[in-house]
Structure 1
């Protein structure tokens, strides 16, 4: 009688979701031709106007809430630009907000990172309600969102 041996698949310690910045969209529709999604991310190529941009996550309930979410941006012209972004976790009426500002000072990618502590939770814990998560940024001229990543 033959005995079959099988091995269990390795346990996965975490799940990392990465979404290209080109999946973001204008929060307030406009005819501005300087703001556009490209392969290199969502870019504000304008030299004069800021625009509100919203980036959301499409995710499965199988992986649970996120432990952290990061949005990565950069300067298109190499100049210094302050970018303000507000993350929202949860669904109405239980929405939780956290706003951060980062300076994009050159073409190097600069991260914004949100964790449970930013929403009143405990460090290292999952962000409550983050199965429904979005980030809205006021994207100044000559800045871009490269990508968004989240770990559950």
Structure 2
């Protein structure tokens, strides 16, 4: 009977010791920006593009407009945290329920003058007919010449430029870290 109790206590101590040596789990982060924070690439007063609570909307019935969006990324102070995104999304929708081809270009990098920080571009086009903002264009490291699943190099400094056709909108953009 004593041996059973001793082995139970010993097993408990081993388990507790094991839990104290488990490395801390990394928490991922998602940065969201409402599409209403995007702006016209070429400002003008003659446009149907308007920021709304539901995003940046091209309410025009005749004219496409180029808009640009950025994500404000706070770089972690911990040296073990990678400041770059693993994926970046632009959620889009149709105002009239009709399918619209929306083309967006994501740009990562900084202008620092060395090859490791050169700007990299990836353009994608999606046919968007959904009216709820649940359709998206998304980018991963493989879209910029890297390995899928790895962080997108220099994506802490990213912009997304889209050509919004008439009656289309950007509801939000977001980036996911590990």
Q: Would the TM-score normalized by the shorter structure come out above 0.5?
A: yes
Within 1, Cα distance between the matches of 2:165 and 2:30?
28
Which residue of 2 is the match for residue 96 of structure 1?
A: 120
Normalised by the length of structure 2, the TM-score is 0.77
Which position in structure 2 is the counterpart of 1:106?
130
Deviation at 1:33, TM superposition (A): 4.0
Q: Which moved more, 1:101-110 or 1:49-58?
A: 101-110
Tell me by how many angstroms 1:32 deviates.
2.5
Deviation at 1:11, TM superposition (A): 3.7
Question: CA shift at 1:31, angstroms?
Answer: 1.1
Q: Of the candidates 17, 24, 40, which is equivalent to residue 38 of structure 2?
A: 24
Aligned-CA RMSD value: 1.5
CA distance in 1, matches of 2:46, 2:74: 33
1:77–1:106: 8 Å Cα contact kept in structure 2?
no
Cα distance in 2, alignment partners of residues 13 and 138 from structure 1: 34
- Return the alpha-carbon distance in structure 2 between the equivalents of residues 103 and 16 of structure 1: 25
Which deviates more, 11-20 or 68-77? Answer: 11-20
Aligned to 1:3: none
Aligned counterparts, 1:2-151, within 5 A: 11-62=25-76, 64-92=83-111, 93=113, 94-109=118-133, 110-151=135-176
* Residue pair 2:42, 2:66 contacting (<8 A) in 1 also: yes
Tell me which residue corresponds to 2:16: none
Q: Partners in 2 of 1:57 and 1:108 — Cα distance?
A: 21
Structure that is richer in helix per residue: 2
CA distance in 1, matches of 2:46, 2:130: 24
Larger Rg: 2
Question: By how many angstroms is 1:139 displaced?
Answer: 0.4
What TM-score, normalized to structure 1? 0.90
How far is 1:61 from its partner?
A: 1.4
SS in 1 for 2:142: helix
Q: Distance in 2 between matches of 1:141 and 1:66?
A: 30
